[in-house]
Amino acid sequence: MYRLLPVIVAALFMTGCASVNFDYPKSASYSLAAGPGSYLSQRIDSLPSGEPGESGFLELDDAIDALAARYVFAKRAEVSIDAMYFVIKGDPAGALFIMSLVEAADRGVRVRVLVDDAEVTDYATGVGALNGHPNIEIRIFNPFARNLPRWWNAVIDFRRINRRMHNKAFIVDAKVGVVGGRNIASEYFGARPDVVFVDSDFACVGPIIDELTGMFDTYWNHRTAVPIEALFKTPDDPEAALMSLRDRLDSTRRQLDDGPYSQVLTQAVLDRVDMSDDELVWAPHRFLFDHPDKGLKRRPDKVEPLITPDLFAAAEQIEEELIIISPYFVPRKAGLKLLRNLRQKGIRVIVVTNSLASTNQTLVHSGYAPTRKRLLNVGVELFEINPTAEELAQSRDDMAAGKGTLHAKAFVADRQRLFVGTFNFDPRSAYINTEMGVIIENPPLAREWADDVITALPANTYRLTLNDKGALRWTGQENGETVVYKHEPETGFWQRFRVNLLKIMPIKNQL
């Protein structure tokens, strides 16, 4: 016992030293809209609008188009850019994004960046320099204490730091925005040769922008949004630090020039300079988001607004068909009950999620795998992504192929309504992380999504069934031939063994 005393004392001392100054001085600020004479104001006002209250949506399903849209909008910024993301990496695609923010700030545009603390350590040395720009301000959502190792934060303050901001939004001049599932990193924009994250975003204009800016301001001025000065040491020479950061970003960004990506990105930028009149879909919508209070140590069901009740209410109104697209699909008791009730009403339920071979989260797969037989037994149609499928493994014909991983989060209800956002069908999205999304009530768009998904299933997924003995089987296509697998396709013994081992861990409510 006496030998453990120094360890206990040290642990108590470190616990006492663990601190995040949530009361660090900061000024409230709010969205800035460009005036009627700005480029984006004139361009958007010239577009034919829908009915009163409708917003305009432009799908950005192509990875390179999605990066190009953000780049173009940042180039057009005249007054403000507001960006909130779960992850912003300093890789080539991330460097291009960050450089576009710096260039806008150089023109006098006010830039506010709110980022979750999930991976801020990856570019900590650059955060202080970026924040040193007089027109750029960065805040970190629910940060880890910087005077302790990150792993020790998890030991002594797990209930708080376990709650992350999963929101993703990009707003320019309070006139145009981008919402959807993509973080800022090369794998989300087709800029990595080894892996492609299949995702979807929507550019949007109209009344939804007021809702987007309102959400951003709510998060930005919330107690859990901490100025980085409270976490990182301010550079001794801010100008020199910013110049050094510019050089590093430019060097990293130039990596995109090595290969075909630069050419297709350039063409995508040219294609996205202006939104054509016939590209926008005008529709009624419902914008949903979790209040940032969900990131505090309290029961999430006591927080308002929350995205989950609205999503469940929307699902309960379905009459004929529900298509769920969720890379991390872990239905717990409430989710299983919802899907079972839908099937008992005769409603067709299709679920598309990652296979063990395509997922980037093996731990999450261990939470999903035990539910498959129950779902199949009630008639849910399960499809898992084939990571080597040609349509998924590359975004352009002239781009190198990589492993395809599903990252889009969407559902289509009765081919009348489409939800796209950050919400996964799992406990983490429902009860732990903050999430957001939009329900677009446009039957032609919803039907197109449903048709595209169902058409793509045979060539890009494995369909799961049960044989006469109740054992799982995976049916897919290989070289044009139908193949039935007895084990998870494209996986090895040890990979499957690890999942089976993880299944017994009591952590499913954290997945």
| 407-465 confidence digits (pLDDT tens) | 999 999 999 999 999 999 999 999 999 999 999 999 999 999 999 999 999 999 999 99
Start-end of H helices in 136-292: 150-156, 158-161, 208-220, 238-253, 261-271
Here the tokens at position 132 are 């040193």
Do both 209 and 298 map to the same domain? no
Do both 304 and 263 map to the same domain? no
Contact 66, 182 (CB under 8 A): yes
For the question of residue 407 being annotated catalytic, the response is: yes
Q: Please give the pLDDT value at position 469.
A: 92
Residue 495's Cβ-count burial label (10 Å; 0-12, 13-18, 19+) is: middle
| Cα–Cα distance for residue pair 342/68, rounded to 1 Å | 40
Residue 365: inside a domain:
yes
For the question of residue 168 being annotated catalytic, the response is: yes
Contact 161, 154 (CB under 8 A): yes
Do both 82 and 123 map to the same domain? yes
Do both 345 and 260 map to the same domain? no
Do both 219 and 297 map to the same domain? no
Catalytic, out of 89, 166, 175, 365: 166
Catalytic, out of 133, 168, 175, 294: 168
CATH number (domain holding residue 419): 3.30.870.10
Do both 232 and 299 map to the same domain? no
Do both 447 and 480 map to the same domain? yes
Q: Please give the pLDDT value at position 273.
A: 62
Here the tokens at position 454 are 């169902």
Here the tokens at position 319 are 């009459």
Residue 13: inside a domain:
no
Beta bridge partners of 412: 323, 418
H or E segment and range at residue 465: strand 461-466
Do both 236 and 339 map to the same domain? no
| Cα–Cα distance for residue pair 433/314, rounded to 1 Å | 20
Distances in Å between the Cα of 321 and the Cα atoms of 309, 339, 347, 349, 404 are 20, 11, 5, 6, 27
For the question of residue 294 being annotated catalytic, the response is: no
Residue 44: inside a domain:
no
Catalytic, out of 173, 201, 290, 293: 173
Residue 24: inside a domain:
no
Distances in Å between the Cα of 340 and the Cα atoms of 252, 336, 383, 387, 465 are 49, 6, 17, 29, 17
For the question of residue 61 being annotated catalytic, the response is: no
Catalytic, out of 133, 222, 365, 409: 409
Do both 266 and 409 map to the same domain? no
Q: Please give the pLDDT value at position 485.
A: 94
Residue 16: inside a domain:
no
Q: Please give the pLDDT value at position 337.
A: 93
Query: Under 8 Å CB-to-CB from 441, ≥6 apart: which residues?
Result: 283, 284, 285, 286, 416, 417
Q: Please give the pLDDT value at position 493.
A: 81
Do both 174 and 131 map to the same domain? yes
For the question of residue 166 being annotated catalytic, the response is: yes
Contact 332, 363 (CB under 8 A): no
Q: Please give the pLDDT value at position 398.
A: 52
Per-residue pLDDT of the chain (511 residues; tens, 9 = 90+): 444 444 433 444 444 445 888 889 999 999 999 999 999 999 888 888 788 899 999 999 888 889 989 999 999 999 999 999 999 998 889 999 999 999 999 999 999 999 999 888 655 557 888 988 999 999 999 998 888 887 788 788 888 888 999 999 999 999 999 999 999 999 999 888 888 899 999 999 999 999 999 999 999 999 999 999 888 888 888 888 889 888 988 888 888 876 777 877 887 777 766 666 667 899 999 999 999 998 876 666 677 778 999 998 888 899 999 999 999 999 999 899 999 999 999 999 999 999 999 998 888 999 999 999 999 999 999 999 998 876 665 555 455 567 889 999 999 999 999 999 999 999 999 999 999 999 999 999 999 999 999 999 999 999 999 999 999 999 998 888 899 999 999 988 888 878 778 777 766 677 5
Q: Which domain holds residue 180?
A: 30-39+50-271
Q: Please give the pLDDT value at position 276.
A: 62
H or E segment and range at residue 44: helix 39-45
Contact 359, 329 (CB under 8 A): no
